[in-house]
Structure 1
């Protein structure tokens, strides 16, 4: 017979963990009625190691309790298959999260290198998944959720592209399209694809901290025209605007926008 301290040392688990397993009925040591101390047999230790085994593969306590009450080999296999599927889905979700995290890190580097500068860059293919009237059209956000690649289907505005059409007289119209980046080996394309091999590219800062909440569309459009003229390019009259990053300064948002301006 062994004390709880000895068992904890043998198995490398805490006394509290052993007590927790006892409360859940996963191990049932004998208790001395005189002093209240519990005594553990080698069968109790075997039960604890079995619980540890199943916990290491992340089975929930309630499932281990089911096993304690009795399960056939086929029943155990079924439980494990269900757990396996859940793990595979979690791994896929974590991979997606990691990819997005890495993309945001890349966006931070883009801002550092490209803020306020102009260069020539390709706008890679985007699949058009839908359209909403405006980012403030909150009653249309269900469309945004349905067409996002976010596993949790929460509303995120980074899948939106604001498209501005303009001519020599100024801005004509705008639309907000829901997009998905098309990978090189993508075979699940169903919607319209938009891509431009040559664009005037820049990153600008917007938001109340830098603009005081004023609309700067006309200033940005005039600046792009001037740069294009200086570089000897003719614009197609389109601007694709992508939300890269939002941060805050003194409680006011700083918004960094990526802009692709197709040229002839």
Structure 2
């Protein structure tokens, strides 16, 4: 029994281009009948392909499989071990992502309840790298030459964008505060994500904070009007600001034709 390439493709659910790739690398050698127009594949060719499919479905690339089939058993076992380590990392990443999604969902479900309200919590240590400086909504500087930025951006959503407002600027009470835009991540995630860290990375220590949700109405800038209720609450509660205020965007939405930008704002405090 012999099959044409289209029939083999349908039988194995394998693209014709992939079958031709195998042919180009000498893995398949279809026969052409004398005077025939089409190449034909024997049952042995099909079973040969299933051997490649076996390892392809383990996650090995076609190039890897071709090399492995020409190597020793020790080499084969080494590649299997590497794949196990890779799969374990993927599993851990998926578990971590699932937890992140669950936490983010809870935050979104509580947006309307927490909007304008306040709560205290111990915020975990975070690390951040400066992305740009902003003043009155204008970008003043972007450090394009910092290679860490591109590496950290690849690790979103665990790395997220943040806006830092210096506590020294609070008394000025400008309409819009000058801010530093950063990429920020909880320190505990850095080893697993293999994020590069150098002297350009700063730390936000674990500390008591007051948190709130504000709506910047489509803007990414924090204003005195938005922060003042929390600042007054902190003062009335007998606390004081002891570090930079950090705002992190939760979600952009459009409700009844109006744009909303809900941001979680964290105020580090002490007695």
- The alignment's TM-score, normalised by the length of structure 2, stands at 0.65
Which aligned pairs between 1:53-202 and structure 2 lie closer than 5 A? 53-67=54-68, 70-116=70-116, 118-128=117-127, 134=133, 136=139, 137-139=141-143, 142=146, 145=149, 148=152, 152=154, 158=160, 160=162, 162-165=164-167, 170-171=172-173, 176=180, 179-181=184-186, 194-197=205-208, 199=210, 201-202=211-212
1:205 aligns with 215
The alignment partner of 1:243 has SS state of strand
CA deviations 1:171-216 (Å, max 9, x no partner) are 5997747654355xx9xxx9866344463x3210115x3x6x8x66
Name the CA distance, whole Å, in 2 between partners of 1:58 and 1:145. 30
Name the CA distance, whole Å, in 2 between partners of 1:217 and 1:6. 64
The ranges of structure 1 where at least 4 consecutive aligned residues each deviate by more than 6 angstroms after the TM superposition are 154-157, 172-175, 250-253
1:144–1:179 CA distance, 2 compared to 1 (3 A): same
Measured after TM superposition, the shift of residue 154 of structure 1 is 7.4
The range that moved more, 51-60 or 237-246, is: 237-246
Name the CA distance, whole Å, in 2 between partners of 1:245 and 1:79. 41
The range that moved more, 167-176 or 95-104, is: 167-176
Quick check: 2:127–2:186 contact (8 Å CA) kept in 1?
no
Match status 1:236 vs 2:237: no
The higher radius of gyration belongs to 1
The alignment partner of 2:133 has SS state of coil
The alignment partner of 2:113 has SS state of helix
Name the CA distance, whole Å, in 1 between partners of 2:3 and 2:150. 57
Quick check: 1:165–1:171 contact (8 Å CA) kept in 2?
no
Measured after TM superposition, the shift of residue 246 of structure 1 is 4.3
Quick check: 1:243–1:255 contact (8 Å CA) kept in 2?
no
2:226 to 214, 220, 240: 220
Name the CA distance, whole Å, in 2 between partners of 1:193 and 1:228. 20
The alignment partner of 2:205 has SS state of strand
Which aligned pairs between 1:24-35 and structure 2 lie closer than 5 A? 24-35=25-36
Quick check: 2:162–2:249 contact (8 Å CA) kept in 1?
no
Provide the aligned C-alpha RMSD in A: 4.6
The alignment partner of 1:134 has SS state of strand
The alignment partner of 2:2 has SS state of coil
Query: Which consecutive unaligned segments of at least 5 residues does structure 2 have?
Result: 192-200
Quick check: 1:30–1:39 contact (8 Å CA) kept in 2?
yes
1:233–1:141 CA distance, 2 compared to 1 (3 A): farther
The alignment partner of 1:77 has SS state of helix
Query: Which consecutive unaligned segments of at least 5 residues does structure 1 have?
Result: none
Measured after TM superposition, the shift of residue 36 of structure 1 is 3.3
Match status 1:22 vs 2:23: yes
Paired residues, what number?
A: 249
1:221–1:29 CA distance, 2 compared to 1 (3 A): closer
